[in-house]
């Protein structure tokens, strides 16, 4: 009986590990067929015989992006949608440009951890833990060459409080980490979330919520 219980416990443990992580690569690569109508978790592979160098290539990340918007920032994503060869490889990249006092507002990446390094300027960055234990804020001022990690699924932000432009590069642990900007999702949802729900949740009066929902919520991700 004890041996049977031990076997079942080990089987459950092995199964939990299998479910909790991506499977190992079964081939050299799986270039995404972005035009396929087949729906899978990710993208189906195109015939590897048809793969070419351009499937693993992206150009122009050295060029400054336009930050002339309300947020004063611009995020250039380089994920599987830009590089089909990233499909199944579990990694992607982004360039972040900031005007003086520009912000990449509080957001989360539901499918990836982010590691960021500053190339130019100074950034004030931070993330907030879940309410277990206590919504703790971890924050740091980063200068050129500094690196900071934002754990997967946690709310985080970057702010350039300097008088010059700032540039950063971020690596993410997913081919398609996703981004949910908190204000956009809450106040810009389509169809809108009930203003009664938001007024109660944020302890605001309904008129303030209605005003917030009527605003244009800028998306700085490209």
Give the residue numbers of the binding site: 104, 107, 109, 114, 156
SS3 for the chain is CHHHHHHHHHHHHHHHHHHHCCCCCCCCCCCECCCCCCCECECCECCHHHCCHHHHCCCCCCCCCCCCCCCCEEEEEECCCCCHHHCCCCCEEEEEEECCCCEEEEEECCCCCEEEEEEECCEEEEEECCCCCCCCEEEEEECCCCEEEECCCCEEEEECCCCCCEEEEEEECCCCCCCEEHHHHHHCCCCCCCHHHHHHHHCCCHHHHHHHHCCCCCCCEC
- State the binding site for oxalate: 104, 109, 114
Binding region for Mn(2+): 107, 109, 114, 156
């Amino acid at each position: 009986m004890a041996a049977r219980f031990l076997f079942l416990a080990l089987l459950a443990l092995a199964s939990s590990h299998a479910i909790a992580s991506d499977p190992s690569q079964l081939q050299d690569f799986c270039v995404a067929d972005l035009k396929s109508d087949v729906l899978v978790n990710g993208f189906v592979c195109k015939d590897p015989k048809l793969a070419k160098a351009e499937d693993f290539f992206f150009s122009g990340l050295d060029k400054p992006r336009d930050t002339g918007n309300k947020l004063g920032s611009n995020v250039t994503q380089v994920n599987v949608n830009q590089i089909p060869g990233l499909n199944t490889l579990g990694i992607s990249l982004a360039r972040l440009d900031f005007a003086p006092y520009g912000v990449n507002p509080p957001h989360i990446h539901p499918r990836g951890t982010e590691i960021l390094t500053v190339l130019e300027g100074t950034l004030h960055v931070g993330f907030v833990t879940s309410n277990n234990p206590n919504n703790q804020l971890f924050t740091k001022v980063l200068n050129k060459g500094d690196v900071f990690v934002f754990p997967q699924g946690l709310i985080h932000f970057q702010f350039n409080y300097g008088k010059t432009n700032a540039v950063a590069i971020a690596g993410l642990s997913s081919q398609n980490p996703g981004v949910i900007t908190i204000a956009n999702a809450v106040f810009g949802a389509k169809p809108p979330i009930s203003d009664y729900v938001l007024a109660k949740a944020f302890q605001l009066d309904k008129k303030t919520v209605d005003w917030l929902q009527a605003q244009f919520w800028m998306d700085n991700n490209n």
